[in-house]
Amino acid sequence: MRYPVAVNETERAEAFYAHVAGGGKVEPDDWMPDDYRAAVLKFVEMHANSELMGVLPEREWILRAPTLRRKLALTSKVQDEVGHAQLLYRVAEDLGKSREQMLTDLLAGKTKFHNVFHYPTRSWADVGIIAWLVDAAAIVSQQALRDSSYAPYARTMKKICWEESVHIMHGRDVVLTMMNGTDAQRALVQDALDRWWGPLMQMHGPPTKPETDRDLIWKIKAKGNEQLRQEFLSIYVPRIRELGLVIPDPALAYDEAAGRWSYTEPDWDELRSVVTGHGPMSQERLEFRRTHRAQTQWVRDAIIGPVGAAA
């Protein structure tokens, strides 16, 4: 979008915000207020970081996949997550922050990644639950982002959503196979669900006020946190229960009168603590990435040349 030349910054910003609030789109080379640029960058950067860190919990199980087909599907899924990190870092980089700087900030604990990737995986059942339900919760968010005002992000989300739909099928298949298997396998799945339910309920974040949620006002995202959580519950609670699994929240119930799910309030303190690096696996995983990044620096120097900032 182009603006008439003779306007001052304030009017220009007002015109811009009216444009995005009205469903208008923004491309990388368009003029944008610093606030908007910073908000989009922060949002996309956290998303990219999450894909990159999200690789680690599942990666452990690539070597342990119990059949040839599962090995292929899991490797492919993790590969896709790396691919998503690339796509999202490219979007963020085109807003003015280099990939290298984003990795440095992530590994220094200055920027965040989503809560679910700070927890351990304990069994093959975790692999199924993550691929099914964590990816499902993510896709609920991601579908809502396909109409983001920041057009490169919206386009990337369409590609990501298409790719994620395969992961959910894989995850559901793993869970179903185990639920149709032995008592021990069913117990493993129930145990995994018991451990992952809390983080899943926290994943979309605490409800925010629409009037002060800038990401919502500027249409960087299309739906509020609570709306996303409700959508996730509406689709997936029946699908979880129909397998004979018990959701570990006795207060979880659909309130017909209110037209929404009621549930035990998620532990927002836990969420805050985890995303600021105090989750059970936060430091170990960041350290793992730091080590591998350092060990492979010589390759980047040889192939793409050294970068100005410290690696």
Partner 1 sequence: MTVQDAASQTALAELLLAMADDEFVLGFWDSEWTGIAPILEEDVAMSSVSQDEIGHAKALYELLASLSGEAADEIAFGRAPGAYRHAALMNHPRTDWAFSIARRYLYETADAVRLESLAGSSHEPLANLVRKMRREETYHLLHFDLWLRRLTEGGPESRDRLIGALRDLWTDAQAVFAPLDGEEALVAGGIMPDRLETLRRRWLDRVVPRFAELGLPPMPAAPAPAPDGRRSHGPDFEWLHGEFTMVAASEAGASW
Partner 2 sequence: MGAKDKVWEVFRQEAEGDPMIHGGSVRAPDEELATHYAREFYGRRQESERLWIVPRDTIIELDDPDLLKPPFDRSFKRPGGFLIKHKLEAARIRAGATGAEPIEELGE
| Binding footprint of partner 1 on the chain (CB under 8 A) | 55-56, 59, 62-72, 75-76, 78-79, 81-83, 85-86, 89, 99, 124, 174, 177-178, 180-182, 184-185, 289, 292, 295-296, 298-304
Over the window 13 to 42, marking each residue x when it contacts partner 2 by CB under 8 A and - when it does not, the resulting string is --------------x-x-------------
* Polymer length in residues for the chain: 311
SS3 call for 204: coil
- 90 touches partner 2 (CB under 8 A): yes
Residue 72 token pair: 């292929």
Binds 156, which of partner 2, partner 1, none (CB < 5 to 8 A, cut-off by type)? partner 2
Nearer to partner 1, 86 or 111 (CB): 86
Q: Which is nearer to partner 1, 27 or 301 (CB)?
A: 301
Give the CB-side neighbour count of residue 307, counting CA atoms within 13 A. Answer: 13
Question: What are the structure tokens assigned to 123, written together?
Answer: 């069994």
The SS3 assignment for 209 reads: coil
Q: Is 300 in the site for partner 2 (CB under 8 A)?
A: yes
Residue 37 or 99 with smaller CB distance to partner 2: 99
Residue 177: left (phi > 0), alpha (psi -120 to 50), or beta? Answer: alpha
Candidate ranges 140-148, 151-159, 221-229, 280-288; the one touching partner 2 (CB under 8 A): 151-159
Q: Which of 84-92, 183-191, 224-232, 280-288 is the region at the interface with partner 2 (rule: CB under 8 A)?
A: 84-92
> Among 53-61, 155-163, 197-205, 239-247, which window interacts with partner 2 (CB under 8 A)?
155-163
Of the pair 63, 162, the CB lying nearest partner 2 is at: 162
Calpha distance 60→207 (Å, rounded): 33
**158 phi and psi, to 5 degrees?**
-65, -45
Shortest Å distance, C-beta 150 to partner 2: 15
Closest CA to 44 of 107, 105, 113: 113
**Do the beta carbons of residue 198 and residue 267 sit within 8 Å?**
yes
# binding residues, partner 2 (CB under 8 A): 21
Specify whether the CB–CB gap between 61 and 127 falls below 8 A.
Answer: yes
Please state whether 262 falls in left (phi above 0), alpha (psi between -120 and 50) or beta.
beta
Of 248, 311, 271, nearest to 106 by C-alpha is 311
Residue 100 interface partner, choices partner 1, partner 2, none, CB cut-off 5-8 Å depending on type:
partner 2
Residues that bind partner 2 (CB under 8 A): 2, 27, 29, 83, 86-87, 90, 93, 98-100, 155-156, 159, 300-301, 303-307
